[in-house]
Amino acid sequence: MARRTIKVDYLARVEGESAFKVVVRDGVIERAELSIFEPPRFFEALLRGRDFSEAPDITARICGICPVAYQMSSIHAIEAALGVSVSGPIRDLRRLLYCGEWIESHALHVYMLHAPDFLGYAGAIEMARDHGDAVRRGLRLKKAGNEILTLLGGREIHPINVRVGGFYRVPTRRELQPLAETLKWARDAALETVRWVAGFKFPDAEPDHELVALRHPDEYPLNEGRIVSSRGLDIAVDAYDQHFEETHLERSTALHSRLRGGGAYLVGPLARYSLNFPRLSPVAQDAAREAGLGPTCANPYRSIIVRAVEVLYACDEALRIIGAYEAPDRPAVVVEPRAGVGYAATEAPRGLLYHRYRLEADGTIADARIVPPTSQNQASIEADLAACVAGWLDVPDAVLRHRCEQTVRNYDPCISCSTHFLRLELDRG
């Protein structure tokens, strides 16, 4: 069957139902295809005609697991279109909010989704019977991240306090203090987490993916930076469309992203870490070294350690922000509508999340483009799956299916597809 490749300018959601099909002939993999059947929800279409101020709340609904990422990418892109730049305490609070999302999302993945694979359980609830203390620590750590989201955003899922220009209401210095106490515990728990996962057994794997992430001159990247890669790409965010393209394959409601003239690439914790190690705080760098990581890490199984290091960093960074915080005079800067195009990329827990908006003079969204991390990682995940099957062709289907699922979970593509993902169709000829 010929593979049809069509270029596409818009995205579809990546989450939920997917399948992986492998065709093997004479011991050789003829075809390895990841298909995503998530029903499309057409966000880029339904954004047309809405007011720019509605984009953060609407795009949050793309993902209940990382709504802050969608809110942050949309407000930064729209502010760029409106010629607005936000600095000082509002900028810091956005960073703090994002730290909360990293902590809850990574803690969820590390403890509830990924660790059970290494320890041999179907899930965290089953794992809790033998590893109760660890699971409780994971839940409490996740809750610490959610407490940031709740205080600053109003609620954990689809926070209501984010707007273009800033917030609706900002906390006083005093209101943030209880969070600091929680986060001091969380920072210790995150360090314990790094040590705990460093003791797992990791298969050798060094796939040679091009790594892509944001890079900021002096911060570990969250909301701002240039887009850089492990093979020398270094571009401003507004040049994204010239360097990356999406294709639409018949077997999938998700779009595949590729580097023009390059190919598959990888975004997410491994890419962020490997391209930004020197920007981690000293405590996070020390913990990474102690866990046996170098300044770069390409082994997708070890991404669980990198996520734990990022949780530690996020706790540390959140504490730094709270310690230095002075409430701004106003919760948001004034924004006036005007015609323009704005681009932004931020670092969702799962990697680079790109948004572009074209606005009309009255602030109406003329068109929108959104490229989520999982659509960017799909081609690399597929390559890893093919390699996984090639290396384990002689094992029974059930064992192979589990190996493939674990390969997918290494990338935390999002909860539902990473866990109920695999209907493995293995055609051995």
Tokens at 122, concatenated: 């179907």
Q: Residue 4 gets which letter from DSSP?
A: P
CB-wise, 247 or 281, nearer to another protein?
A: 247
Q: How far is the CB of 35 from another protein (least distance, A)?
A: 11
Q: How far is the CB of 233 from another protein (least distance, A)?
A: 25
**Three-state secondary structure of 385-410:** HHHHHHHCCCCCHHHHHHHHHHHHHC
Q: How far is the CB of 392 from another protein (least distance, A)?
A: 18
Residues in region 148-167 near another protein by CB under 8 A: 154-158, 160-161
**398 CA to centre of own chain:** 29
Q: Which of 142, 272, 307, 355 binds another protein (CB under 8 A)?
A: 142
**375 CA to centre of own chain:** 11
- Is the Cβ–Cβ distance between 357 and 378 less than 8 Å? no
Alpha helix ranges (H) inside 158-294: 173-198, 240-243, 269-276, 282-290
40 binds another protein (CB under 8 A): yes
Backbone angles phi, psi at 249, to 5 degrees: -100, 145
Closest CA to 255 of 33, 48, 36, 16: 36
Tokens at 173, concatenated: 């210095």
Q: How far is the CB of 44 from another protein (least distance, A)?
A: 5
DSSP characters for 128-146?
Answer: TTT-HHHHHHHHHHHHHHH
Q: Which of 34, 36, 44, 345 binds another protein (CB under 8 A)?
A: 44
Q: Which of 65, 97, 306, 400 binds another protein (CB under 8 A)?
A: 65
Which residues fall within 8 angstroms of residue 409, CB to CB, at 6 or more apart? Answer: 113, 114, 117, 418, 419
Q: Which residues of 32-42 are buried (b: 16+ CB within 10 A; e: fewer)?
A: bbbbbebeeee
DSSP characters for 409-424?
Answer: HTT---HHHHHS---E
Tokens at 77, concatenated: 């892109």
CB-wise, 346 or 418, nearer to another protein?
A: 418
Q: Which of 388, 405, 413, 424 binds another protein (CB under 8 A)?
A: 405
Q: Which of 331, 342, 349, 373 binds another protein (CB under 8 A)?
A: 331
Coil, strand or helix at 267? coil
Q: How far is the CB of 4 from another protein (least distance, A)?
A: 8
- CA dist., res. 125 & res. 120, Å (int): 12
CB-wise, 123 or 295, nearer to another protein?
A: 123
Planar angle of CA 109, 161, 152, nearest 5 degrees: 60
Residues in region 266-325 near another protein by CB under 8 A: none
16 binds another protein (CB under 8 A): yes
Backbone angles phi, psi at 157, to 5 degrees: -105, 130
Q: Which of 30, 51, 175, 188 binds another protein (CB under 8 A)?
A: 51
Residues in region 104-123 near another protein by CB under 8 A: 104, 108, 112, 116, 122-123
Q: How far is the CB of 87 from another protein (least distance, A)?
A: 22
42 binds another protein (CB under 8 A): yes
User: Would you give the binding string for another protein spanning residues 180-219, x where CB under 8 A is met?
Assistant: ----------------------------------------
337 binds another protein (CB under 8 A): no
64 binds another protein (CB under 8 A): yes
50 binds another protein (CB under 8 A): yes
241 binds another protein (CB under 8 A): no
Q: Which of 61, 91, 216, 358 binds another protein (CB under 8 A)?
A: 61
- Helix or strand holding residue 347 (H, E): strand 340-348
Q: How far is the CB of 421 from another protein (least distance, A)?
A: 8
β-bridge mates for residue 355, sequence order = 344, 370
Residues forming the site for another protein (CB under 8 A)? 6-12, 15-16, 38-46, 48, 50-51, 54, 57-58, 61-65, 67, 104, 108, 112, 116, 122-126, 128, 135-136, 139-140, 142-143, 146, 154-158, 160-161, 168-169, 248-250, 253, 255, 331, 367, 405, 414-416, 419-420
